[in-house]
Every structure is written in structure tokens, then in C-alpha cells.
Structure 1
Amino acid sequence: MSNDEPAREPVKEDARIDALEARLAAAQQREEERNRPQASGADANYRSGNRVLADLLGGLLGGAVIGYAIGFFTDTNPWGLLVGLFLGIVVAFRNVIRAANRRPGE
């Protein structure tokens, strides 16, 4: 062996390595497509359910707080609370009905 020759010959490209790299690239692409967030009908239904729940709770709690405050300041506390709760329930159901009649694309 002479000094200008390398001790080992460089490894040639192997067809198996090329095939493995192609399979890895394809698997990574499939994995990215699978993990990409997609807007599906289930997500829209989940958001719609949360909206209905928020409308109901907001109407009830808002009506109760406002009714109690009005009853406290006017010294008609049980009636102010009841009227506020009733109005909160009416507003909550009106919002739920409006959301139910809305088309999905709107």
C-alpha cells in the first residue's frame, strides 16, 4: 500500500439504502397528513354544544345576579330574583332556538 491510496475503499451507494430512504419519506408524509388538524363535523358539533351550554348557563346566572341586585336595591328580593331568573331563562331559550335554526354555513 502506498501513502496516496486510502486504507479502505469508499462505500458505494446501496440500492437498499435508497429504498429505505424512499419508504421513510413516504411514511413521514403519511404521518404528517394523518396528524394535520382537520375541521370535521364532530368539531363543529362540539362547538355548537358548548355554545348552547354557555347560552343556558349565562342566561340563568346573569338573570339571577341581575334579579337579585334589583331585588336587593328595591327591597323586593324574592320577587326580583324570581323575575330575573324568569327573564334569564327566556333569553337563554331564545338564544338556543336562534342557534338551532341557524344553518351550518352561516
Structure 2
Amino acid sequence: MVFMPEKNGQSDPSSPTDLDTLESKLASAHARRAAKIGPDKRDDNSLLGMAWRLSTELLVSVLVGMFLGLGIDTLLGTKPWGFFLGLGFGIAAGFMSVFRTADAMNAKSAHLPIGDKVPEPDDED
């Protein structure tokens, strides 16, 4: 009995195809890489990006509050109280923004839906 090649060029339908061999090699390579890197290994560039984002949000909030305060001072002639009031509101808004963004980043890294409370561990002693 002579086997005729099939459409994919395989002569014996019971033997694995080249694609199956490639998939098994890729799976073993991914497993070796995951074991080498570890599940919680983070890139330093992503941490630097997060720090840059948080510091930028804080700085922009403070500057916007400060300039709005200066604008109020110019319009109403209440120098320096509008500046200090705007600076205070800018600092408060900046910290709120930083805390909100940091919570969102933590929820994302913990694979939690953003906006939900983090579940507390049960104290069953």
C-alpha cells in the first residue's frame, strides 16, 4: 500500500504535523521563560513611568491652583489671599489625584476591578 500525500504534504495522517511540533516547542520555551523571569518581575521602566506620572499630576495640580489664585487676586484685588487659597486647593487636588491614580495602579496590578474595595482577609483564629 502506497500513501499518497495529503493536502498539507503529510503522508501519514497519524503522525504529528510540523505545526504541532512547533506549538509544543513554543509552549516549552514560554514555560522556561516564565520560570526564569518569575511571575512578579517588573520592568524598571514601568516603575519609572509610574513615578513620572504621579509627580507630573501633583505638579500640574499645584500649578493650576496657584495660577487660578493669582487670577482671582488680579480680578478682585485680594493679593495674596487668592494665591494662598488657590495654592491650598491645588495641593489638596494634587494629593487626591495622586492617591486616586495610585489606587487604580494597585488595583490593576492586583487584577481587581477599578473602583471596588480591596477584599480584607478573614480573621478566623
TM category (shorter chain) comes to: 0.5 to 0.7
Cα-to-partner distance string for 1:65-86 (whole Å, 9 max, x where unaligned): 1100111111112110000000
Q: Which has the larger radius of gyration?
A: 1
Deviation of residue 41 (structure 1)?
2.7
Q: TM-score when scaled to structure 1? A: 0.58
Query: Which of 101, 108, 113 is residue 104 of structure 1 equivalent to?
Result: 108
Partner of residue 58, structure 1 = 60
Partner of residue 95, structure 2 = 93
| Local SS of the residue matching 2:58 | helix
Compute the RMSD of aligned alpha carbons.
1.5
Give the whole-Å Cα distance in 2 for the aligned partners of 1:41 and 1:99: 19
Count matched residues: 67
Cα-to-partner distance string for 1:45-65 (whole Å, 9 max, x where unaligned): 111101111011101111111
Structure 1 unaligned segments of length 5 or more: list them. Answer: 1-39
Identity rate of aligned residues, in percent? Answer: 28
**Residues 104 and 46 of structure 1: CA distance in aligned 2, closer, same or farther (over 3 Å):** farther
Q: Which runs of 4+ in 1 moved over 6 A?
A: none
Q: TM-score when scaled to structure 2? A: 0.50
- State the structure with bigger RCO (CA 8 A, min sep 6), 1 or 2: 1
Structure 2 unaligned segments of length 5 or more: list them. Answer: 1-41, 115-125
